[in-house]
Structure 1
């Protein structure tokens, strides 16, 4: 999330592409460091988990903040497996 923020801040429109069936986001940010950052920036720990860099990717954040299902699109085809 943090590496995407500068681009999101400057963008007029954003398209986030991802696949929830692929390897999940993994962060090396220690939970204690995240807690320190929250305290330093006066963000309550009871805030929604969407701001957690440790537990969420930019795709997770985008999916949590969609206003309607019309903002979500699916591919017509995929090549995850061999055709029957």
Structure 2
């Protein structure tokens, strides 16, 4: 089920304005400039997220997934 949910939510996640695919995309964005200017005196940093999914509150996580799934253009699940 997790794989099906991940696949169905993939388009929504990728289209999120804050989505960054990987380190290369992040470095290219910094080098080429962001489409939205960064605030003055901003400090950029990165960190590795450990156990991301268990840290998401269940109720809010389920509501976010439900909203994303309901906003899909195609409402059926393709196997």
TM value normalised by structure 2 = 0.25
Q: Which has the higher contact order (CA 8 A, sep 6+)?
A: 2
